[in-house]
Amino acid sequence: MSHKHTLTKGRAVFLEYYSKLLPQFSVPELTAHLNTRNTPILLISKVFEAKLMKLWQENSLTWAPLRWFPFALQWPPEIPVGETLPGFTEGWIYPMNKSSLLPVLLVNPRIGENILDAAAAPGGKTLAIANQIDLNKTLLIANDSSFPRFKRLRTALKFFGYPDIPTWRFPAQTIVRNSEYTFDKILLDAPCSSEKHVFNSKKHLKIWSPNRIKKLSELQLSLIESLLPLLRSGGTLIYSTCALTPEENEGIVAKVLEKHPLEIALKNPPDGLPVSGSGLSGFGLTDSQSGQVLRINNNDFGFDPMFVAGLRKV
Ligand X SMILES: C[S@@+](CC[C@H](N)C(=O)[O-])C[C@H]1O[C@@H](n2cnc3c(N)ncnc32)[C@H](O)[C@@H]1O
# residues near ligand X by CB under 6 A:
17
Minimum Å gap between C-beta 262 and ligand X is: 27
From 3-11, 43-51, 121-129, 278-286, give the range in contact with ligand X by CB under 6 A: 121-129
Q: Is 191 in the site for ligand X (CB under 6 A)?
A: yes
Question: 138-176: string of b/e by CB count within 10 Å (b at 16+)?
Answer: bbbbbbbbeeebbeebbebbebbbbeebebbbeebeebe
79 vs 245: CA distance, rounded Å: 36
198 vs 186: CA distance, rounded Å: 27
Instruction: Give the three-state DSSP class for 191.
Output: coil
Q: Is 125 in the site for ligand X (CB under 6 A)?
A: yes
267 vs 313: CA distance, rounded Å: 9
Instruction: Give the three-state DSSP class for 149.
Output: helix
Q: Is 119 in the site for ligand X (CB under 6 A)?
A: yes
Residue type, 263: E
Which CB sits closer to ligand X, 120 or 311?
120
Minimum Å gap between C-beta 122 and ligand X is: 5
Minimum Å gap between C-beta 128 and ligand X is: 8
Q: Which residues contact 261 (CB under 8 A, 6 or more apart)?
A: none
Listed residue (141, 251, 122, 243) closest to 186, CA to CA: 141
Residue from the set 40, 109, 123, 269 that interacts with ligand X by CB under 6 A: 123
Which CB sits closer to ligand X, 96 or 266?
96
Tell me which residues are annotated as active site.
242
Which CB sits closer to ligand X, 175 or 264?
175
Q: What's the chain's length in residues?
A: 314
Listed residue (280, 271, 279) closest to 309, CA to CA: 279
Residue type, 73: L
Minimum Å gap between C-beta 60 and ligand X is: 31
Q: Is 189 in the site for ligand X (CB under 6 A)?
A: yes
Residue from the set 145, 167, 220, 249 that interacts with ligand X by CB under 6 A: 145
Minimum Å gap between C-beta 302 and ligand X is: 18
Q: Is 120 in the site for ligand X (CB under 6 A)?
A: yes
Which CB sits closer to ligand X, 173 or 182?
173
Which residues in this chain contact ligand X in the complex, by CB under 6 A?
100, 119-125, 144-146, 149, 171-173, 189, 191
